[in-house]
Amino acid sequence: MRIAIIGAGGVGGYFGGRLAQGGNSVTIVARGAHGEQIKKSGLHIKSPKGDTIITNIHVVKTIAELKDCELIILGVKAWQVKGVATELCNVVNSNTIVIPLQNGVLAAKELCEFLPTENVMGGLCSIFSKIESPGVISHMSAEPTIVFGELDNSISERSVQIKKTFDAAHITNKNSNYIQGDTWKKFVLICLGGLGALTRSNYGELLQTPELRSMLIEMLNEMYTVAISEGIKLKESIIDNTMSIMDNFSPDANSSMARDIWNGKPSELEYQNGTVVMLAEKQKIEVPVNYFIYQALLPSEKRSRNTVLN
């Protein structure tokens, strides 16, 4: 399959490398030292599943250089999706499928503002990974998984073919018949990282502090109420299930949003707790814990973006 990866960080780099290992024709859009190192020496993946160097990856610097892609996977940050979508307008054709793997619940909708709906599937991923150094992706923990699906929740011929492609690359995956529900299940989990970002705490510290653990449960109740009001079919057991998932995280693990905020970088705050607040306001629902976290983190988010712009 002819596959393009936009965003060659911990997500795009890892899955792009595995897809190239699986015999696909993979092109990665990567700039700077990271892209140059991949072009020169291949992509080095360090992982509990085995270290490897993948050399059969084509590297380009711009989206405009992509040609005849059958599948495009977006591994950029959630706040970069709209900008990428405008560039994709001149790249996709009638046979191109675009799957976003961003955190949050807005990526597919934002893509459809610029691209024909038939070009877009919903998607998400689970992985703890990062760029360790130029050309090197470090996968730390969790089974790397992709969940994807048609926006009309059908199991189509093309979604079956994509699943076969992921299977052949030994990527754990699910061809979802309810991608909106699956996306929300991850969304409520990642938004809990906002409390870690605010308190500068890892997951273990959040869970082991009774007062903070109670706040996590309050956040989940708020997000469950918002999801139901948005017409998402979730079982109330998602609250206990999500806490169980967190209890199995490594105690020193933390969210990518928290790491960005701690390091003074632009983060996905608007696409996580900010989205909870936005949807709650639309539905006239009170979400006091998520509201406080969002408003408390907003000044540092604005500072980081002003620094980038200046």
pLDDT at 253 over 60: yes
Angle at 76 between CA 124 and CA 299, to 5 degrees: 100
Choose among 185, 193, 302: nearest CA to 256: 193
Separation CA 192–CA 198 (nearest Å) = 11
CB atoms within 10 A of CB 99: 24
Residue 308 is predicted with a pLDDT of: 58
Per the model's pLDDT, the better-predicted residue between 199 and 143 turns out to be: 199
E strand map for 64-115: 71-74, 97-100
- Mean confidence (pLDDT) of the chain: 95
At 243, which amino acid appears? Answer: M
Mapping DSSP to helix (H, G, I), strand (E, B) and coil, where does residue 279 land? helix
CA–CA distance from 3 to each of 16, 154, 263, 305 (Å)? 8, 22, 32, 32
Residue 310 is predicted with a pLDDT of: 43
Task: Say what the pTM is.
Answer: 0.93
pLDDT (tens digit per residue) in 75-108: 999 999 999 999 999 999 999 999 999 999 999 9
In the DSSP assignment, the letter for residue 101 is: -
**Residue 48, token pair as written in the block:** 């509990």
Choose among 296, 302, 300, 294: nearest CA to 273: 294
Separation CA 233–CA 22 (nearest Å) = 35
Choose among 122, 113, 175, 174: nearest CA to 151: 122
Residue 30 is predicted with a pLDDT of: 93
Angle at 63 between CA 166 and CA 93, to 5 degrees: 70
pLDDT (tens digit per residue) in 266-290: 999 999 999 999 999 999 999 999 9
Residue 256 is predicted with a pLDDT of: 87
Separation CA 163–CA 175 (nearest Å) = 6
pLDDT at 242 over 90: yes
Taking the CA atoms of 48, 49, 53 and 56 in sequence, report the sign of the dihedral they define: negative
pLDDT at 233 over 80: yes
* Chain position carrying tokens 């150094």: 133
Choose among 61, 62, 70: nearest CA to 26: 70
In the DSSP assignment, the letter for residue 118 is: G
In sequence order, which residues have a C-beta less than 8 Å from that of residue 297 and are 6 or more positions away? 194, 197, 198, 261, 269, 273
